[in-house]
Each structure stands twice: as structure tokens, then as C-alpha cells.
Amino acid sequence: MAMDVSIIDDLKKVESLRERWQQIYLLTPEVNFFVSWVWIYGYLKCQGDAGIPWFILAARPDSKADYVAFFPLNIFTKDDAELGLYNQLGMSGITDSHYPGFISIPDYESEAAVAFAAYLQNQEIWSVIELQHIQPNSSRWRYFLSHFPESQVKIVDARERIYKDELDEIDNSICPYVSLPSDWELYVQGLGASTRKNLRKKLKRLAEQWNSPDGCRIVYANAKNIEMAIDALLSLWQANWESRKGAHQCARIAESWRPLLRHCFEHDCLYLPLLHYGDRPVGAVAHFVDRSQKTLLSFISARDESFTEFPPGLILHAEAIRYAIEQGFETYDFLMGNEAYKYSFGVQERHVTTLLIHRKDWIYHDIVLNSRSIPEAVSIAEVYHREGELEEAKKRYQQILASAPGQPTVLYSLAVLLQRQRDYSAAEAQFQHLLKLQPENTEVWFSLGASISNRGSYPPLLRPISRL
């Protein structure tokens, strides 16, 4: 039986679905925090504030039944030098972790996967779907992918292109995690001899200095110091990465994290210890707490690279693992990347990949844009226009109008651009089209008159005006 699939694209509706979402989340196998209601709600709010369109596919057996599956998605407008604008769908909530994609009550998993695949193929406009950081052998993805026929799409595995960091020799398709025992001492005994000895020594020294005003201690984020803690974490992180990513890029990333960290703290799922040397923060690791899955996830780590008294990463990760064990958790997740330091903590590995689903031969046809993406598409075209790249701007304005005719702002911008290119006849055609939509727009009438004046050819009704 075909399932009923509806679109949710209103944040208030998402808020009202919290209880049902969490019920499904608890029943879905192989999930993690990044498809929980708390994370998705905060993520979608940030996406909306940034002007990135999103929607959720919601499936149920019929239009009167409760929802049994949710699939949150974003619509991105990509800009290619040759192709111009096109749309790529991506999964909402993505970060540096393996990603389950959609959640579903197990008894409905296959039906929901088929329904989602059918809806995306038949009801949504896109050129590419990107499935990031997935484990494609899981049952939900097998069901989903099997319903994209080879005659209509091409599926590409982008593992080699996306995950290899040649500079640091890091493979981000590997996601290390620790399976936690029930006792801290049991965990420490399971570490390698060298790590075990070093860890005990460092923790003992830390304990000896804890109450000294000039020594090291761990400070935990709480309601009184949360802003300071987030500021310290992000400042340290930016200092660590500015030389690699650039100051502007680092600042942009850090500011995108700030509201998510605050949101998770407000929902009691942020664990943020900081290593202080006196009053100076020298290390911090932000974790997300998933009590339902009994998992602590290490999200952002940063340190003061000039501080050598203690290794902040060793101390803070060890302390977080001890906290997780005390809470009865079963997993400490380092997320993506096989950095060497993670392996000293006794990790196992998950492996992920990214699949790209391309509509067959889409680059050889006129590209149609999703209506939800038009505001972002206009913004991209306007950048070209402001920077004087008129041919590039014109190409994108024309793409937008082919997908969504009758956009007044775009019609006017294209007409002005054509004037600058001295293509007055084409400019006047755009102004006249716009006047059919907005016959009392005096600015457009003035611009039309200016265009006619510039080419010196007046219709009979305008010739007397030209002599004034």
C-alpha cells in the first residue's frame, strides 16, 4: 500500500511534532543525536535564519494516521561556471558524523523509504541529491536507493573525492568511537600500557593542582558561565584553524555553531568541560549528550597551542569518558576523522561515504530551478550584477525567469542590465512585460522612457515628451 507523504516547511509545525518525532527516534535502529528532534529543530531554525530553504518529508499509512517517518532536507542553489544555477538536495542536520538520514518506525521502514524515493523523483525539482556521511549498506538506504531506476539517475560514490585530507593524511570516512564498559577502572585497564601510564600520571598531577589558584583545573559550562564557555571554545578553535581556513571562514563557521551550542545547552544536551590554567582557558571540548541512545558525542575540540603544562585533549577526553561511564552511557563518539590521538583511547571504527544521485543527462537539458530556491538564486545573480559580470548575471536572471516567470525584481534587474549592455530593444521588452504586472509602477515607466531616449527612437505618443 502506498504511503501518504506530506511536506512540512513551517518551524511551528516542527515544534508541535516534538513528541511524535522523539517517539519515532527512540524506535529507529542505528540512529544518532543528529536526527533527534532537539538537533533538527535547532538546525532548521539556523538554516531558516540564514535563508537556506528546507522541508521535511513526513510519511504515514494514510492521511488520518499518525506519522511514522520523517526525512528532513535542505535545498541548495549551486552555481557552476558553465551550467549556471542548479539545485542540489541535501539532508538537514549534517555535521562531521555518520548520518542516519531519515527516521522511521521499523515496521514501516521499507514502505517509508520507497515513498520518500518516489516523492523526490516525481514531486520535487532537483538536479542532484547528496546523501552525506551515510552507511549505504544499512537497510533504510538499500530500500531508498533501490527505487531510483538506472534509466533515470546516475549514482556516484564520492568517497575518494570528499574524505581524503592529503595534507594531514586523515581519512574522514572513518568514524572512531569507544564502546564503554560499566566501570572507569575497567576502561583504563583496557588501554595500552603507555597510554594507561601517561593518563594516570596526568590525572594525578591535575588532582594535585585542582585547588591551586595558579594550577590547572576543569571548569564545566553551566547557566552562569555558558556564554563565557562558548566564547572560550570558539576563540580557541578559531586560533587553531585560522592559518588553514582563513580568518573570515573560521569566523563564519564559529558563528554558525554558536546558536546551535546555546540551543543544545538550553535543552540539557550540551556537556562542555574546559581546562583552565589559573583563570585562563587552555582547552575545551564540546559534547552532545544523547541520553536515549546512551551516547556522548565529541563535537568541537580546541586548545591553546602555546600551553605545554598538560595535554588538554588527553585530559578533557578522558574526563568526558569518565563522565559518560558514570552516566551509564555505552558509547563515546569521536565523530569523523582517523586522527592518531583518537586511537590511544581504544576506539573501534565506523565507515561512511557520500553518494550523489544525478538525474540522468541533466546537464544537457534546460535546468529548472525549485521554486523554494528562487530567493537564493536571485541573490547569486545579483552578486554578478553588482560586480559588473553582466553576461554571467544575465544568464542567471534568464534561468530564474524560465523557472519562475513574472518575478518583478528579476525582470527589472534584467532590463537594467540590458540597458547597460546597450541592448535597448531587449531592455524595453522586459520593462513592458513588467508594466503588464505593475502598470502603476512609475520607476519602470521612467526607466522605459530613459531606454527609449537612449536609442533615440520614440513611439508616436512619446515624441512630444522627448522635445520637452
Count of positions (residues) in the chain: 468
pLDDT of amino acid 468: 41
Going by C-beta distance under 8 Å and a sequence separation of 6 or more, which residues neighbour residue 387? none
CATH code linked to domain 4-171+354-359: 3.40.630
pLDDT of amino acid 164: 78
pLDDT of amino acid 215: 87
Sign of torsion over alpha carbons 432, 437, 438, 444: negative
Compute the average pLDDT of residues 371-378. Answer: 96
Kindly indicate the confidence band of residue 414, based on its pLDDT and cuts at 50, 70 and 90.
very high
Give the amino acid at 314: L
Kindly indicate the confidence band of residue 21, based on its pLDDT and cuts at 50, 70 and 90.
very high
CATH code linked to domain 369-466: 1.25.40.10
Angle made by CA atoms 356, 362, 365, in degrees to the nearest 5: 165
> Using the 8-state DSSP alphabet, how is residue 114 labeled?
H
pLDDT of amino acid 38: 98
pLDDT at 4 over 90: yes
pLDDT at 461 over 60: no
Portions of the chain given CATH number 1.25.40.10: 369-466
| pTM reported for the whole predicted model | 0.91
Which tens digit of pLDDT belongs to each residue from 268-300? 999 999 999 999 999 999 999 999 999 999 999
pLDDT at 462 over 70: no
Kindly indicate the confidence band of residue 11, based on its pLDDT and cuts at 50, 70 and 90.
very high
Portions of the chain given CATH number 3.40.630.30: 175-349
pLDDT of amino acid 441: 87
Across all residues in the chain, what is the average pLDDT?
93
Compute the average pLDDT of residues 246-259. Answer: 95
Give the amino acid at 421: Q
pLDDT at 460 over 70: no
- Out of 56-60, 93-97, 319-323, least confident range: 93-97
Going by C-beta distance under 8 Å and a sequence separation of 6 or more, which residues neighbour residue 458? 452, 465, 466
Kindly indicate the confidence band of residue 220, based on its pLDDT and cuts at 50, 70 and 90.
very high
Rounded CA separation 350/137 (Å):
12
pLDDT of amino acid 458: 56
Going by C-beta distance under 8 Å and a sequence separation of 6 or more, which residues neighbour residue 391? none
Compute the average pLDDT of residues 58-76. Answer: 97
Which tens digit of pLDDT belongs to each residue from 295-332? 999 999 999 999 988 899 999 999 999 999 999 999 99
Other beta carbons less than 10 A from residue 326's beta carbon: 10
> Is 175-349 assigned to CATH 3.40.630.30?
yes
pLDDT at 266 over 80: yes
pLDDT of amino acid 465: 45
pLDDT of amino acid 389: 98
**Extended beta strands in 14-61, E state:** 54-60
Please indicate whether residue 161 or residue 386 has the higher confidence score (pLDDT): 386
